[in-house]
Amino acid sequence: MYITYSPAYTIVPTYECFNRCTYCNFRAEPGKSPWISLSAAENILQNLQNQHQKNQHQVCEILILSGEVHPHSSRRQEWFQLIYNLCELALKMGFLPHTNAGILSFEEMRTLKQVNVSMGLMLEQITPKLSENVHKYAPSKLPETRLQQLQWAGELQVPFTTGILLGIGETESDREDTLEAISRIHKRYHHIQEVILQPYSPGSQESYHSSVFNPLELPKVIAKAREILPTEIVIQIPPNLVTNQEWLIACLEAGATDLGGISPKDEVNPDYSHPQAEILKKDLATQGWELVPRLPIYPQFDKYLSKEIQFQVQQWRHNIHQL
């Protein structure tokens, strides 16, 4: 039995974000987070290339993960250009970029498609009641705004990852409604690669105080998601948030088949370190599961890419099993 993951590294253009979600452990106040320079990013990518040449840890996915600059900010264009340039640089240096930069305009998404193999945005939950509490000061978390992003990605044929956040005040019915919404959009556009089921896990920077999501519920949520979502959509769970091996195996048996990007640091959940892929591989093997690397784009979506990026993806697809 196979379980997949993406060998990844995360580059953060900026931690500043105009949203203030009470459970966030990532954001910094606007103006309080320096923006990464292209030269600093190039040094990071060069170091990764050097590791490849020494047959050390090999990375294929570069996750460009950014806080959101307000759409009407005077620095919005500068922020967007930085993200574009980072993706372009990653491609030129032989990596496969995947961007999650929050809410984008249609034209911004269209432009970023030119320099990404895939993109993503967590839907989280579509119940409007969260706008009264955890999302009260997070204008881009309005359900209709997030759903529109999934629709635009479909219209633009962007291979897409989305997901739901579990344990932020939603009900079981809310979760099912959110999964149904994802399913409806995918059935129309056929562009969603993965749905992440992410348990809320408290961190040291947040202001949200609530009971932790019950880990024993996760296999049940996965099983329900597998019923609702089309079979071609992969269900992903983060291994650093599912730390008990018995619990992890129960999640796999319930229908999860991917562990997402495994990188040196989980920027969204910095209090929870990712396991090393080799250690995880050995642990899973004792339970009859084989952990294998994958690209940040699945083969059936290659046709959505430009010919130039397709060529680069095909080179990686030829080499991925040697990782």
Distance CA 272, CA 242 (A): 10
155 CB neighbour count, 10 Å cutoff: 13
| C-alpha–C-alpha distance, residues 78 and 33, integer Å | 15
pLDDT at 42 exceeding the cut of 90: yes
What is the rounded CA–CA span in Å between residue 86 and residue 92? 10
- Helical packing angle, 38-53 and 76-92, nearest 10°: 20
- Mean pLDDT along residues 30-50: 95
The domain made up of 2-322 has a fold known as: TIM Barrel (3.20.20)
Least confident of 112-116, 123-127, 256-260, 275-279: 275-279
For residue 91, give both structure tokens.
């491609």
Q: What is the dihedral of CA 9, 317, 305, 229, to 10 degrees?
A: -80
pLDDT of residue 202: 81
Domain boundaries along the sequence of the chain: 2-322
Give the containing element (helix H, strand E) for 87.
helix 76-92
Q: Would you put residue 55 in left (φ > 0), alpha (ψ -120 to 50) or beta?
A: left
Place of tokens 């290339």: 49
Residue 209 above 90 pLDDT? no
Give the DSSP H or E segment for 99.
Answer: strand 96-100
Question: What average pLDDT is seen over the chain?
Answer: 94
Return the structure tokens found at 80. 């967007």
Question: Is 208 buried (19+), middle (13-18) or exposed (0-12) by CB count in 10 A?
Answer: middle
Sequence-separated (6 or more) residues with CB below 8 Å from residue 37: none
Neighbour tally for 112: CB within 10 Å: 21
Contact 86, 97 (CB under 8 A): yes
The pair of structure tokens assigned to 217 is 């519920």
Q: List C-alpha distances in Å: 15 to 11, 20, 78, 305.
A: 11, 12, 15, 29
pLDDT digits (tens, 9 = 90+) for 27-38: 999 989 999 999
- Asked if pLDDT for residue 286 goes beyond 80, the answer is yes
Does 311 score more than 80 pLDDT? yes
- pLDDT of 20 > 70? The answer is yes
**Angle, helix 143-155 to helix 106-113, in steps of 10 degrees:** 40
Contact 235, 257 (CB under 8 A): yes
pLDDT at 201: 84
Q: How confident is the model at residue 55 (pLDDT cuts 50, 70, 90)?
A: low
Residue-wise pLDDT for 163-195, tens only, equals 999 999 999 999 999 999 999 999 999 999 999
Across 269-288, average pLDDT: 92
What one-character DSSP code corresponds to residue 133?
Answer: T
- Rama region for 80: left / alpha / beta (φ>0; ψ in -120 to 50; rest): alpha
pTM for the structure as a whole: 0.95
**Under 8 Å between Cβ of 131 and 160:** no
